[in-house]
C-alpha cells in the first residue's frame, strides 16, 4: 500500500464523486489535504453540482481520518484569485504542496448548433481555465520545493471527438495539451504533469446528464456503459487507483502522459 505520510495534497471538486473518493483515499494513506468545491449550481450546466451538505460530509470524514489536517474552502476554480488564496492558505498551514489533483469538471450535452455563449463559457471556464488556474496557483511552491505531482483530469473527450459535446471536447483536448506543454516547462524542477482520461464513470454527474438525453438514470447509465469495450461503468475507486500511482514516487519517470482509462472506448 502506498503511503502519503506528510505529503500535502490539493484536490478541486471534492464534494462528491471522484473528487471525494480521491480525498478520502489520500486521507486514509496519511496525506494532509487542501480541498475545495464550488457548492452551487452554475449557468450552462443543467444538473445540480455538489452541495454544501455533500462537501460537509466529505470534510467530516477526511478531518476525522487526518486528525484535523485539512484546509478547505468553497471555491470557484474559474476565479484565479480564489484558487490562489486557497493554495496560499494551505501553504501557510502545511508549508508545502506536493500533489495537485485537478478534479473539478462539468459537462453539458448539446448539438453544436444549440451551444450558446453561456454553455461554451461554462465548459471552457471550469474544465480548462479552472485547471490552469489551479496549476498556476501551485507552480511557485512546487518550483521552490523542486518537487511536485500535478494530475489533471481529462476525459475520453480529450482523446477523440464526441458527438453533441463540441464545447466539452474542446475543453478536454485543451487539458491534454496543457498537460503536455506544462510537463516540458516544469520538468527541470522535478515536477511531473500527467492527465487521466476516464470514459463513463458511475457518478452523480453522469446520472445528472440523463435528462439531457431524455432518459432515466438507469437508461443513461446503460447507454454510457455501452460505449465501452469492457462491460459496465468505471467506478470512482478505479480512477482513484491511477491518481494514487501518479501521485506517488513510483511514477517518478512518467510526465507529459495522457492516460486512457476508458474501458476501451477510444478503440471504438
Q: What is the pLDDT of residues 41-50, one digit of tens each?
A: 999 999 999 9
Is pLDDT at 136 greater than 70 in this prediction?
Answer: yes
Q: Is 198 contained in some domain?
A: yes
Q: If DSSP codes are grouped into helix, strand and coil, which group holds residue 264? A: coil
Q: Is 49 contained in some domain?
A: yes
The dihedrals phi and psi of 42, each to the nearest 5 degrees, come to -130, 155
Q: Which three cell numbers stand for residue 70?
A: 485539512
Give every CB contact of residue 52 below 8 A, 6+ residues apart in sequence: 39, 74
pLDDT band (50, 70, 90) for residue 213: confident
pLDDT at residue number 1: 52
pLDDT at residue number 177: 99
Is pLDDT at 242 greater than 60 in this prediction?
Answer: yes
Q: H/E element holding 139?
A: helix 130-145
Q: How many domains does the chain have?
A: 1
Pick the catalytic residue from 47, 147, 168, 189: 168
Q: Which DSSP string corresponds to 16-80? A: SHHHHHHHHHHHHTT-EEEEEE--S--TT--S----HHHHHHHHHHHHHHTTT-EEEEE--TT-H
User: Residue range 107-120: average pLDDT?
Assistant: 97
Q: Is 264 contained in some domain?
A: no
Q: Which three cell numbers stand for residue 259?
A: 492516460
Is pLDDT at 170 greater than 80 in this prediction?
Answer: yes
pLDDT in tens, 148-162: 999 999 999 999 999
Is pLDDT at 98 greater than 60 in this prediction?
Answer: yes
Q: Is 229 contained in some domain?
A: yes
Is residue 189 annotated as part of the catalytic site, yes or no?
A: no
pLDDT band (50, 70, 90) for residue 171: very high
Q: At what angle do helices 80-94 and 130-145 cross, to 10 degrees?
A: 30
Q: Is 62 contained in some domain?
A: yes
pLDDT at residue number 52: 97
pLDDT at residue number 131: 99
User: Residue range 5-17: average pLDDT?
Assistant: 97
Q: Is 233 contained in some domain?
A: yes
pLDDT at residue number 169: 98
**How high is the mean pLDDT of the chain?**
96
Q: Is 2 contained in some domain?
A: no
Range of the domain at 255: 8-259
CATH code (residue 192)? 3.40.50.720
pLDDT at residue number 132: 99
Residue 33 near residue 71 (C-beta atoms within 8 A): yes
Give every CB contact of residue 261 below 8 A, 6+ residues apart in sequence: 196, 197, 198, 199, 234, 238, 239, 242
pLDDT at residue number 2: 73
**99: closest CA among 204, 180, 29?**
29
Residue bearing cell 462539468: 106
Q: Is 71 contained in some domain?
A: yes
pLDDT in tens, 58-80: 999 999 999 999 999 999 999 99
Amino acid at each position: 500500500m502506498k503511503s502519503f505520510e506528510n505529503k500535502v495534497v490539493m484536490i478541486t471538486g471534492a464534494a462528491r464523486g471522484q473528487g471525494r473518493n480521491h480525498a478520502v483515499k489520500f486521507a486514509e494513506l496519511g496525506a494532509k489535504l487542501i480541498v475545495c468545491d464550488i457548492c452551487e449550481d452554475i449557468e450552462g450546466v443543467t444538473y445540480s453540482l455538489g452541495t454544501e451538505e455533500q462537501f460537509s460530509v466529505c470534510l467530516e470524514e477526511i478531518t476525522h481520518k487526518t486528525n484535523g489536517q485539512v484546509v478547505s474552502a468553497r471555491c470557484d476554480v474559474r476565479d484565479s484569485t480564489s484558487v490562489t488564496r486557497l493554495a496560499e492558505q494551505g501553504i501557510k498551514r502545511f508549508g508545502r504542496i506536493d500533489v495537485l489533483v485537478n478534479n473539478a469538471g462539468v459537462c453539458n450535452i448539446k448539438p453544436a448548433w444549440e451551444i450558446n455563449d453561456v454553455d461554451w463559457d461554462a465548459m471552457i471556464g471550469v474544465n480548462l481555465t479552472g485547471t490552469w488556474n489551479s496549476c498556476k496557483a501551485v507552480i511557485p511552491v512546487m518550483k521552490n520545493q523542486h518537487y511536485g505531482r500535478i494530475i489533471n483530469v481529462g476525459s475520453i473527450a480529450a482523446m477523440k471527438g464526441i458527438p453533441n459535446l463540441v464545447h466539452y471536447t474542446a475543453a478536454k483536448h485543451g487539458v491534454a495539451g496543457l498537460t503536455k506543454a506544462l510537463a516540458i516547462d516544469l520538468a527541470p524542477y522535478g515536477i511531473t504533469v500527467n492527465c487521466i482520461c476516464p470514459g463513463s464513470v458511475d457518478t452523480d454527474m453522469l446520472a445528472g446528464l440523463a435528462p439531457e438525453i431524455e432518459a432515466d438514470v438507469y437508461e443513461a447509465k446503460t447507454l454510457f456503459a455501452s460505449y465501452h469495450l469492457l462491460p459496465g461503468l468505471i467506478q470512482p475507486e478505479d480512477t482513484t487507483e491511477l491518481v494514487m500511482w501518479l501521485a506517488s514516487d513510483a511514477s517518478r519517470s512518467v510526465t507529459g502522459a495522457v492516460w486512457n482509462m476508458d474501458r476501451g472506448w477510444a478503440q471504438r
